[in-house]
Structure 1
């Protein structure tokens, strides 16, 4: 091989290396640019998150002290919020969307994507993270969440105002993150019905509609002192202290299984609510807050069984519940409520075991 050929080969290799370096530099620049900056380093500073789709579904999750409030009305599930914050912290760009499919991905995102707005508490003066003055809320990130990639390991995302879309993932996590950005309110609702501490409870009344003789009222009359009233005849009875205390402390964490308000047809909900109720809990705290829960019989799935509702047996595992705002019909498990549905005789002094 003569020297001229060797020189040509060296020049060609040098050109290829230069091209690779230029491409790699542009690639890295793209990944490090503002359009690829999705992750949030300080999730503790996030004050609220707004998530919406093109079907007018939207949620606003706001930090209020030590809890998160959903759409200004409901308590949000802490587990779901923690998962979202973790996602915002850990997501990384896997790679830009390939040119061949980029326009199609962006077009689908424009019609089916989910918009995410992140607000954070920032400081007008922040010296080396040591001296922080004049805090205020600022909209720090806006991006759109699209479909899942074909390998189900990434999610398409696009920063607002950017031209380049990216595939995002969580390193080490097998799956996609799209579902963590749900704009459906029911997905974020906390399932707690009662979360009252013993010291906060002023009274609890339990009504048995079909057997009123079983109904009762427990009232706090002083420090470590209670009164048990059989409400059918308004008779005060001597009570078993341990059983009464166990009953009241159980209201520290009582939850429903799922929300049915946006699942069951309105006519079906009205039929349930207008039927005779089973039980009614009314809990009042010393601060004046009253929480009421009304339960109703639930029939086995008549559509699945192919029979009429009149012929269907009662579901022995679940029942319906109407929360005190009168707007939310929920699904309850007897497993959760059995310990709360004992009659007054159980709490009377010398009452039978159940």
Structure 2
């Protein structure tokens, strides 16, 4: 009987030691992997002064911190909210789970061929690189692989997420410069504007100009100067120039179509001169309507899109704009009564 008890205890001891050893090995392996997984984050995002995003097609976007602002590598403005989205992900990224063994090969292939590469630099020194391989099937996690200056490149990807958020990380990262560029066209305070000239091609009765002469203003509408002018209406008009943005960069027109557009006659030209001598000129082109004719803001039957138009900026770039934004700048009859005319000059 004692012999049987001793045998049973011995077997139990061996089983216990086996389980304990197995747990130690398992914990040791997972601890190393978890350390690598959590190494995605950078808590000191203020030290990050350069980010390079590379898409699978080779398109690359470099973001550079200049003091408190971010630009591209040419010094051009980029949208700060998009940079904030990246830094927020960098601060809050965390390990979510491991990839099942039977899916590992597929995920690695996806990262190798379709993954987005994101390089982070702290104080001008490369720190980490993310390899982003798309989302999990439930879209609540992202397949990612880490490479760092301290630990080198990880052999196996894991599933990551952003703390406190459900969703995937990948949409925050893209290299198309058109998506990054600032949409601001100009932002002028009323007192900065010396002259505004709006010319409607083929409709001189709608053209007008506003000029600042010392502390007074002169308004010309339809080729004639106004004899009676409500200065408050001039102020209201000039206040509209405080912040003007375009809606979207050009994603539709190819080079040949752009050349053709620029050679065509704009329906309106807007010129601005500031008190410091800065000059800007915008050329506006109609977009052909795809449906039945509608009535525009002048009450005319329109064969063009009454919501959006193409605009050539001072640097030659063509962008899509909204009439809703520009009408307060080009519809002078709202602010200046065209019936109060002096002698034509």
Per-residue deviation at 1:233? 4.1
Q: Paired residue for 1:105, among 104, 107, 110?
A: 107
Per-residue deviation at 1:86? 0.7
Q: Paired residue for 1:70, among 72, 82, 94?
A: 72
Inter-CA distance 98–77: structure 2 relative to 1 (3 Å threshold): same
Q: TM-score, normalised by structure 1?
A: 0.81
User: 5 Å matches for 1:164-179?
Assistant: 164-179=156-171
Deviations 1:92-142 (A, max 9, x none): 122344443333322322222222121222xxxxxxxxxxxxxxx222222
What stretches of structure 2 of length at least 5 have no aligned partner?
Answer: 148-152, 292-301, 341-345
Partner Cα distance (2:166, 2:7) in 1? 53
Q: TM-score, normalised by structure 2?
A: 0.83
Aligned match of 1:294: 283
Any idea what SS the aligned residue of 1:50 has? strand
Partner Cα distance (1:285, 1:9) in 2? 90
Partner Cα distance (1:186, 1:99) in 2? 39
RMSD: 2.8
Contact 2:63 2:70 in 1 (8 A): yes
Structure with larger Rg: 2
Aligned match of 1:276: 265
Q: Does 1:120 align with 2:104?
A: no
Q: Paired residue for 2:255, among 266, 270, 289?
A: 266
Q: Does 1:254 align with 2:244?
A: yes
Q: Does 1:17 align with 2:20?
A: yes
Aligned match of 1:129: none
Q: Does 1:48 align with 2:50?
A: yes
Q: Paired residue for 1:228, among 204, 218, 224?
A: 218
Partner Cα distance (2:180, 2:48) in 1? 17
Q: Does 1:58 align with 2:60?
A: yes
| Matched residues, number | 323
Partner Cα distance (2:303, 2:338) in 1? 36
